[in-house]
Homo-oligomer: A and B are copies of this chain.
Amino acid sequence: MAHIYVFSPSGAVRDKVAFRRGLQRLKELGHTVEVDVAALQSHTRFAGDDATRLAAIHRAAAAGADVALISRGGYGLTRLLPELRYRILAKAIEKGTRFVGLSDFTAFQNAMLARTGAITWAGPALGEDFGAEAPDDIMEACFDDMLTGQGEGAGWQFSRQTQQTYADRKPGVWARDAVLWGGNLAVLTSMLGTPYFPQVQKGVLFLEDIAEHPYRIERMLTQWLHAGILAQQKAIVLGQFTQYKLTPHDKGYKLDTVVHWLRSQLRIPVLTDLPFGHVSTKVCLPVGATVQLLVEDRDALFLWAHEHSL
């Protein structure tokens, strides 16, 4: 099984019960778990000050692990982006370490892609996923697939509404040899216009977010649209947008309104319902990998080339 290195590049771990339960679960699954010395540090809202978190990231790269897994997201990575030693990190990835995480970790993943082209994995975090009272079966199976290099892909079923929207399109390959990129919408939007934002042409962009009102999601997508980024992609795949609150002022304005509006602005397909985001059931996706996007009826499938496996 795998050697998993757990580290904290963003927010301080507050739920230590979930943290320990996560470590226990990974051990139960047969993995060797190594915990970074600063994994439980706390400096205001951060898992240690900038120097501490930077050192933790570089230790995760130096550990020679199969997986460098974040303890949790939060906030703190964008501050560190100018200080990351990109070449060393890319070297560790080349040697076989998979950096896995989501949410704030989106900043690391897309900066790595922008600066080095290295592939990282959008996937679970230790605490919320492996540390859940009942870890999700699909999440664990996808994590395992990533480790073994088997089942090089991720499939899901989208809504009937999405199916009807694209009823005129032929089933088959909707995006061929496209770079998969994306992650958390707010985090990635906060990198737009900086040297850490990937310049991906003809890619497939996947997005998710938590606790962002649909008008804010729309405002961010409007920025991407006006920056000319969305129209340059082959497809956009929306994951799970969760835990926002509509208000009486919205008067019928909702997430669907935003999706409908987005489609009216673009010729490329905007798929929905990707099982990825701040939800239990999540797939593992290789950020920066070249993928194929296959669609038939309500089924979508990402396929990617086999990479080094354990």
Q: Are A44 and B194 in contact (CB under 8 A)?
A: no
If the complex has contacts A82-B226, A193-B192, are A12 and B219 also in contact, measured as CB distance less than 8 A?
A: no
Nearest B-chain residue to A80, judged by Cβ? B222
Contact of A222 among B78, B215, B223, B250 (CB under 8 A): B78
This protein's copies in its complex = 2
**In the complex, which of the residues A45, A46, A189 has the most CB atoms of chain B within 10 Å of its own CB atom?**
A45
Q: Are B45 and A253 in contact (CB under 8 A)?
A: yes
Nearest B-chain residue to A261, judged by Cβ? B79
Q: Are B78 and A195 in contact (CB under 8 A)?
A: no
Q: Are B81 and A226 in contact (CB under 8 A)?
A: yes
Q: Are B222 and A79 in contact (CB under 8 A)?
A: yes
A242: interface (CB < 8 Å): no
Q: In the complex, what distance in Å separates the CA atom of A167 from the CA atom of B44?
A: 28
Total A residues in contact with B, Cβ cutoff 8 Å: 35
Q: Are B45 and A223 in contact (CB under 8 A)?
A: no
A14: interface (CB < 8 Å): yes
Q: Mark A246-284, 1 if CB is under 8 A from B, else 0.
A: 000111110001000000000000000000000000000
Contact of A223 among B191, B215, B220, B252 (CB under 8 A): B191
Q: In the complex, what distance in Å separates the CA atom of A257 from the CA atom of B75?
A: 15
A42: interface (CB < 8 Å): yes
When distances are taken between beta carbons in the complex, the residues of chain B under 8 Å from A193 are 192-193, 197, 223, 227
When distances are taken between beta carbons in the complex, the residues of chain B under 8 Å from A218 are 79
A286: interface (CB < 8 Å): no
Contact of A75 among B42, B78, B215 (CB under 8 A): B215
Q: In the complex, what distance in Å separates the CA atom of A218 from the CA atom of B12?
A: 17
Contact of A45 among B82, B220, B250 (CB under 8 A): B250
**Can you give 6 contacting A-B residue pairs, CB < 8 Å?**
A44-B250, A45-B249, A45-B253, A46-B253, A78-B219, A190-B222
Given contacts A11-B249, A75-B219, A194-B227, 12 further A-B contacts (CB under 8 A): A44-B250, A45-B249, A46-B253, A78-B226, A79-B218, A190-B220, A192-B193, A192-B223, A193-B197, A194-B223, A194-B226, A196-B226
Q: Which 9 pairs show the lowest CB-CB distances between chains A and B? A: A193-B193, A44-B253, A194-B226, A193-B227, A192-B193, A45-B253, A75-B215, A78-B222, A190-B223
Interface of A with B (CB < 8 Å)? 11-12, 14, 42, 44-46, 75, 78-79, 81-82, 189-197, 215, 218-220, 222-223, 226-227, 249-253, 257
